[in-house]
Chain A
């Protein structure tokens, strides 16, 4: 464990708790893409299948359990409890356009042709594009609630910090995982546009609104 990965994990935890809190407190999931949340749920479930078989540390197990629980709770709030506030007209990104190619790629490019490894690879690839429906929804509505932009900033920062963690691990532990690194770079690049808007607008107290 290194500081970059720890801060990255905490930023990730902050992001998903922030979103759950926003939906719960405002009793509304307006502006939130349910499709992205479904895909994040899929990411955690396919990645953490080894939750009960492969014990690494208390921290690792606890975080995995929290991520899965919070993701399921968020999906429940969006599609059941506060379903009336779900903005399905703007959450129109076709998930199958992401899941099918990612599933195919996971079969073709992986470290080991075993079920667990292919599911892990699928999870890594899916996570890199899972935010697209959310970014697409913001581009359609033209704006995002400030709390939702904080959620996206924390979520984008987590994988950016993981890239620093991978550089650190490469130089100090001689370890690197190309699949995770390439997917992590793609994932972070997708946030660049949002990061620019966040820094130039939200940081100056303005609402995040895309140029119409």
Chain B
């Protein structure tokens, strides 16, 4: 979901 996008940041 959209929240998983956030996890591409360190």
Contacts and interface: CB of A to CB of B under 8 A. Distances in A.
A12 B9 CA distance: 13
B3 A64 contact: no
A54 B7 contact: yes
Interface size range of chain A in the complex: 20 to 34
A124 to B, nearest CB: 9
Best-surrounded residue of B3, B7, B8, B9 (most CB of chain A within 10 A): B9
B1 to A, nearest CB: 9
Contacts of B9: 5, 162, 165, 180
A60 B10 contact: yes
A12 B10 CA distance: 10
A50 B10 contact: no
Contacts of A180: 6, 9
A112 B6 contact: no
B10 to A, nearest CB: 5
A175 B9 CA distance: 12
Interface in A1-53: 5, 9, 12, 50
B5 to A, nearest CB: 6
B2 to A, nearest CB: 7
B3 A111 contact: yes
Contacts of A175: 2, 5-6
